[in-house]
Structure 1
Amino acid sequence: MAQHALRAALAPPQARVARHRPIRYNDGVDKGGFALRIETLYEFLLLTSNLNFTETAKSFFISQSVLSGHISSLEKELGALLFVRDRHSVRLTEAGRLFQKDAQRIVEDYERALEHLSQYADGVSSVIRIGFLEGSFGSFLPLVCRGYRKEHPDVDFHFRTMELANIQKALNENEIDVGLAIYQDGIQGAKFCYRRLYEDRYMLAVPVGHRLAKRASVCIADLRGERVVVPHFNRSKSMLEQMHVKLRNAGAEVRPAGFEDVGAMMATLVTAGVVAIALDHLRVFGNGNVEFVPLADENMEICAGAVWKRSKETGAITSFIDFLEEACEGFGKEEFLARSGPDALPSLQFPSSPSRAQPPGGHARP
């Protein structure tokens, strides 16, 4: 395991062979040595975040002396000092920072294993992992997934809200099975499959009170002298490259977006009085402080829908995508973006069970 590799790396050469032994679990047979408990790793990880033995002990309903004993035993097992402690402070050592990453992975693997066992107990044979852009898909998504589960109770769903670049990365690295994202029609490669659900559009996000906020529409020429925040270049969205050039030619000051999230961008627009090229679905984050004004220039439209990796396509994935498309037949953009629950949606047209074969399998659990 990871802790053995760390211990071997930190130990002096003559001690490495002696120390490289299996971890002795508390099985009632071997009473000597250290019994690694997953709870100790949880305690260690919380302690690395707050560097406070008293608060960590309270969080786990144990005494400070018990916690100190657990950490000391862990350090002895690893053969490395994880914390430097004195009367006034607690500091994480370099070895502690190194082990922190491995401990986090061990805990995540443990929790994933528990989840797999829980799914097995519930009769779940496959999981569809969905990553979606926050704001671009609303209340309909969990309702459709619930409808699909009624028809296919052996399929479960995992959801992650993600930024666009992270969705593409997660698909490439097989961390998700389906991305609900945006893409430019007609220039995508054969590596991915796509299913269009609605059409989004680039707009001009303008702080309330800005000279352009009340305009029915604006064109690129209207942005002369403005500081304009624009999305980063992306080879899959050639319209953005053209927009960068057009804005500079029109005399606008172009600033590539460098925000952690949409909320940060909206706050910056209001605070700094700048404008941004942003997708229309992001208006939900404007909080009444930002107006979205249509851009009159051509080719501002972009597709929104499901994306999945062709080489990882399974029967469960294609079955779900078909179900999703049929269930939302007749939906417009506003219905896809609605966030007020089922009352704000047209009736979902769930396909009937007899007409649909059971999917042959989804994402195989490791």
Structure 2
Amino acid sequence: MIDRTTPTPFAADLYALATEIADGELAPRASDFEERAEFPREVLRTLGKAGLLSLPYPEEFGGGGQPYEVYLQVLEILASRWLCVAESVNVHTLVCHGIAKFGSRQQQEQHLPRLLGGEVLGANCISEAHAGSDAAAMSVRARRDGESYVVSGTKAWVTHAGVADHYVVYCRTGASGVRGISAFLVDADSEGLLPQRPEKKLGVSSSPTAQVVFDDVRVPADRMIGREGRAFLVAMDAMDSGRLAIGACAVGLAQAALDHAVTYAKGREQFGQRIIDFQGLGFLLADLATSVSAARALVLSAARLRDRGKPFGVEAAKAKLFATDMAMRVTTEAVQVLGGYGYTTDHPVERWMREAKLLQIVEGTNQIQRLVISRAL
């Protein structure tokens, strides 16, 4: 039983609600949806109606008014049942982040209530085929044409491509470098916005990831988020929060794998005793349990800095790095604990191992996290 922190009066109730939905709506569907690569759109609507898509945002726009410390623990619960859903919540939350923190009052009033309520789904378009970790090298361009901008180019690795209702598109409106990038909220049904065929991935197959082509897509000027040429700051600010979310997802995934491995080891007998009673295996599980707890503590420590308005970017990088590397190890060892059974789809540990690999890559690869941390030393 995990003893969760409850910094607000409603935190315990939110954890209970998240657990109820995760057990009833997520866990029973995960394997089937992953096998069919089907996106669980209705599940996201359910989370929206339950108020779990809006937790860290102001109540005036329909948000939950909760600290990030609470939001991340809810995300961990969701990830422990189905990573695709938790990652979708993270992506959607980051779309809302740019509007809530940098958007105009009109944008906030017009778009946030429907986004936070789950009526519409968001996606971020940052990466390009040649500009992944180096976001400042993006080349998708938006040129001014009267009261609109016309967006041209191709974005890559877009989560929710083809299923989102809105895309936050980062593109170049000025010279090269970080000062020439702007962001726009673009409707999915805009003429010339063309999602491509989903990528065939190692894991998280139910979450569509694809390129999105912008063939002279016309966007009203009042859809720009923040100041012209300053959107790189919007992206980096969102990414720091996103790294905390990925760390929480990693903790949830690792906890699920650890729990499954422990249950199996307590029920499996060899040479006349439970295999968990063999010191070699028992000590391994003890190390894994310690790593999961350490990662959870690191993620929540960084979240508390964010909630207090303190700089947290470097601590978020540490949390993302440690938690996702930990999840990769825990899920791999969980497969090993189950032996041959772990290598079959009869048990979910092989899926969790494949999913853990994604977390070492998204929101900045772990090599990028080490770069961020080393530069701060």
* Structure 2 length-normalised TM: 0.24
Higher RCO, Cα 8 Å, sep 6+:
1
Q: Which has the higher strand share?
A: 1
